[in-house]
Structure 1
Amino acid sequence: MSAVSVEEHAAAVEAMLAALGTRTAQRIPLAEALGRVSFEDVRSPVDLPLFRNSQMDGYAVDSRSVATTPVTLPVSTVIAAGPTEAAVLASGSAAKIMTGAPIPDGADAIVPVEDTTVPTVGSVTIERGRAAGAFVREQGSDVRVGTILIEAGRALEPRHISVLAAVGFAEVDVRSRPRVAVVTTGAELVDAGSALTPGQIYDSNGITLAAHLQASGAEVVAVARSSDDPSRFREILDEAAQSAELIITSGGVSMGDFEVVKDVLRPLGGHFGSVRMQPGGPQGMTMFDGIPVLSFPGNPVSTVVSYIMFARNIVRKAAGLSPVLPRTASLHEPVVSAPGRRQLLRGRLRDDGRVELVAGPGSHLVAALAWADVLIDIDSDTTELAAGTDVEVWPL
């Protein structure tokens, strides 16, 4: 797999990860369903409203008895919202009723309390009559049994949670998340917050890849770090393969000594080589005990760019999320690019719709990645682009 194009490597990765797209249903509590993707159409098991009820605080009446106003009627009962015996409206009377309370048989309209006066205890004067159906919420007027509330493949938002709760769902079937393990490598890596000794750096790739995977809808089942010891790396891979459907490694894939990922996986059938892109040239891919392993270079920017270009949309598709696609923007300034490699430069979209460079192509410029919001995609045959030229940009 030496010196292939981005497109060629992306196609090989997609083929290796094809099985990731086969998902099953997972039943989870509704309270945990925010952001998850519905597995199938969700239909209402009940009518909404569940029963005829009052839209207002007021009086339930037979509309014929208030056709001429003002009229004074006896109040035969008081009906509150909540558990209650089924009520029947006595002929020629009114029932005092609260918002949401069931409407008694014999009543077909609600007179709001503000359209009434109370001349004596036990009676009410209706100052303004109401036609049949006024302020009555009929059973099923919102949703009927069997109505599709949420279509399959919908990422659940608070509004979806609301309607599912309203029709009585305590659990919901969602699309299972792709399970991914992250393994960073390098004897120089230490946890953030640790005291550094000469030659050590903080391990940012593990938490960074985990964050990108979670944003893509994946379940991160492990974030581990290996030294450059092959036996330790193999041990971590064995552990990760027990729970993961995909393993992503960072580091250990270049041309130097102590490249533990390449040294362990190449004898197992792994393919390692160069992709014509910058940053992120060194890449690897392996099937390890039936689990696909994507191996990215260890420089932090290279790791992120590799994930975006080769894995993000595959993981998102498996999770049921829509792909992140490039858009077109005009360059704010001229760009010079080295020939032979597809450049993915950090950029920032301006208020005027143009895109400006944030930093150079160096794969160690981590802060610039935080300041950027897109990758500017420059093809391998281009060496110069003038300000105002339209380019593709990938959202970060």
Structure 2
Amino acid sequence: MAGSLLPVDEALAILLDDTRAIANTETLDLIEADGRILSEDLPARVTQPPFSASAMDGYAVRAADADAAGALLSVIGTVAAGETPRQTVAPGTAVRIFTGAPLPPGADSVVIQEDCQSVGGDRIKLIEPTKSGSNIRPAGQDFREGLTLLRQGRRLEARALSLAAAGGYGTLPVYCRPKIAVLATGDELVPPGEVPGPGQISASAGIALQSLARANGTQTRDLGIARDNAAAIEAAVASARAWGADVLITIGGASVGDRDLVGPTLQAMGMTLDFWKIAMRPGKPLMVGNLDAMKVLGLPGNPVSAYVCALVFAEPLIRRLARLAPRNRLMRAFAAEAIGPNGPRRHYMRARFTDRTNALVAPCSSQDSSLIATLASADCLIVRPPADGPVKPGDPLSVMMLDPNEP
């Protein structure tokens, strides 16, 4: 009965309350650290820029000699990026300088080349005056040695990695990625790519769950297919434990039928178990427990139900382990057509946008939870509250995006 089913939000809160983020760390090369979470504050090892440098191509001068148009200066040398200045800028002189080159001693400004005119004999005339400090990047303008560049917990992406490189780092300390093991169960399943025999189907749910887990900063291991017997399930679970899995996700066998052996087998192996029936559709049976340090999440065997349950439960669990902020897949939209009343469970209806500009969505024509093609063609899920009344065209809806833009 509906009254015995646990509400989705309450079930999710219980699951996350018992989840602690990964604490193990490792050190990786900069590019390998892309997308990872920094495990320590990062102080600058160098000052950037380490010297006062020219911001433009032009001439390094003393501002006192260049405060009026028409001033004549003698060019006594040249300095380019990567070189050390060999001349000191004395009164009445200038040094030809290029962008990024160190400012020569004695100079306090740079006149850009467009504001100068060559008058022959290594002499230039200023077309425009300049002020002290013009067109110079002073030492430490970006940051100084010892300044904290990045804080612990920062997700490392292009900008953060560039800053770390500029700050003197070739490797970075990061948190380890959660290890997610995925196990499909059922005598009827064959591996993807193998032609199913009579009464058999391809095991498709595991591929989807591994993809979802990888998109959320994990490493995954496919434990394959365990047949409907305790020995096969025990062997697969032992493999997950030996690998050091942080989460074991099982697909199928989480209900209470005679062939649903996953829960009893895991309990016999020492798992502490909370078994919930969740007030959601598709998907109702959900198994949550702990086997030593490994979290166990048992999902329904139907591929569509498994995927929807994974979005609602596995993704938040994984992101908490990975120290990633919760992914916000929800947005406000509007009904493109009339939708009938909802039943006693929260319903995640596969749907498509008919008009993205105005956020109009319509449910797919069939909501049968066995239709994988319908899931693949959908771009969102309409989230219907339990016992929600009929929806009219234009009524507001809450939708869960299947391909959100945020990381």
TM-score by length of 1: 0.89
Aligned pair count? 394
Q: Which of the numbers 326, 330, 338 marks the counterpart of 1:334?
A: 338
Aligned-pair distance for 1:139? Answer: 0.8
Change in Cα spacing, 1:359 to 1:38, as seen in structure 2 (3 Å) is farther
Aligned-pair distance for 1:330? Answer: 2.7
| Cα distance in 1 for residues equivalent to 2:342 and 2:131 | 79
Change in Cα spacing, 1:192 to 1:86, as seen in structure 2 (3 Å) is farther
Mapping of residues 157-168 of structure 1, within 5 Å? 157-168=157-168
Which AA in structure 1 matches 2:247? L
Q: Which of the numbers 324, 341, 351 marks the counterpart of 1:321?
A: 324
Aligned-pair distance for 1:110? Answer: 1.2
| Cα distance in 2 for residues equivalent to 1:365 and 1:24 | 40
State which drifts further: 85-94 or 126-135: 85-94
Aligned-pair distance for 1:328? Answer: 3.0
State which drifts further: 275-284 or 24-33: 24-33
Residue-by-residue CA offset, 1:342-374 (whole Å, 9 max, x unaligned): 222112233222321024332111122122222
| Cα distance in 2 for residues equivalent to 1:91 and 1:131 | 15
| Cα distance in 2 for residues equivalent to 1:261 and 1:87 | 80
Change in Cα spacing, 1:54 to 1:2, as seen in structure 2 (3 Å) is same
| Cα distance in 1 for residues equivalent to 2:257 and 2:267 | 15
Instruction: State the match for 2:53 in structure 1.
Output: 53
Which AA in structure 2 matches 1:178? P
| Cα distance in 1 for residues equivalent to 2:113 and 2:346 | 72
Aligned-pair distance for 1:249? Answer: 0.7
Mapping of residues 122-271 of structure 1, within 5 Å? 122-242=122-242, 243-267=244-268, 268=270, 269-271=272-274
Aligned-pair distance for 1:107? Answer: 0.6
Q: Which runs of 5+ in 1 are unaligned?
A: none
Aligned-pair distance for 1:257? Answer: 3.8
1:347 alignment partner, SS class: strand
Kept in 2: contact 1:250–1:298 (CA 8 A)? yes
Kept in 1: contact 2:342–2:384 (CA 8 A)? no
1:375 alignment partner, SS class: strand
Instruction: State the match for 1:110 in structure 2.
Output: 110
Kept in 2: contact 1:76–1:90 (CA 8 A)? no
Residue-by-residue CA offset, 1:179-219 (whole Å, 9 max, x unaligned): 21111122332333333333332222122111111222223
| Cα distance in 1 for residues equivalent to 2:73 and 2:376 | 72
Instruction: State the match for 2:11 in structure 1.
Output: 9
Q: Which of the numbers 323, 347, 352 marks the counterpart of 2:351?
A: 347
Which AA in structure 2 matches 1:380? P
Aligned-pair distance for 1:244? Answer: 0.9
State which drifts further: 340-349 or 103-112: 340-349
1:295 alignment partner, SS class: strand
The share of aligned pairs that are identical, in percent, is 33
| Cα distance in 2 for residues equivalent to 1:371 and 1:217 | 25
Kept in 2: contact 1:184–1:224 (CA 8 A)? yes
Instruction: State the match for 2:84 in structure 1.
Output: 84
| Cα distance in 2 for residues equivalent to 1:38 and 1:280 | 36
| Cα distance in 1 for residues equivalent to 2:232 and 2:91 | 86
Aligned-pair distance for 1:255? Answer: 4.0
Q: Which of the numbers 373, 378, 384 marks the counterpart of 1:378?
A: 384
1:132 alignment partner, SS class: coil
State which drifts further: 28-37 or 267-276: 267-276
| Cα distance in 2 for residues equivalent to 1:127 and 1:382 | 76
| Cα distance in 2 for residues equivalent to 1:218 and 1:380 | 33
Aligned-pair distance for 1:130? Answer: 1.9
Q: Which runs of 5+ in 2 are unaligned?
A: 403-407
TM-score by length of 2: 0.87
Aligned-pair distance for 1:53? Answer: 0.7
1:291 aligns with 2:282: no
| Cα distance in 1 for residues equivalent to 2:93 and 2:398 | 73
Change in Cα spacing, 1:137 to 1:290, as seen in structure 2 (3 Å) is closer
Kept in 2: contact 1:210–1:223 (CA 8 A)? no
Aligned-pair distance for 1:54? Answer: 0.9
Residue-by-residue CA offset, 1:250-281 (whole Å, 9 max, x unaligned): 11223444323134124445444532221111
Instruction: State the match for 2:405 in structure 1.
Output: none
Kept in 2: contact 1:375–1:395 (CA 8 A)? yes
Aligned-pair distance for 1:119? Answer: 3.9
Kept in 2: contact 1:188–1:201 (CA 8 A)? yes
Which AA in structure 1 matches 2:254? V
RMSD across aligned C-alpha pairs, in angstroms? Answer: 2.6
Change in Cα spacing, 1:264 to 1:117, as seen in structure 2 (3 Å) is same
Which AA in structure 2 matches 1:330? F
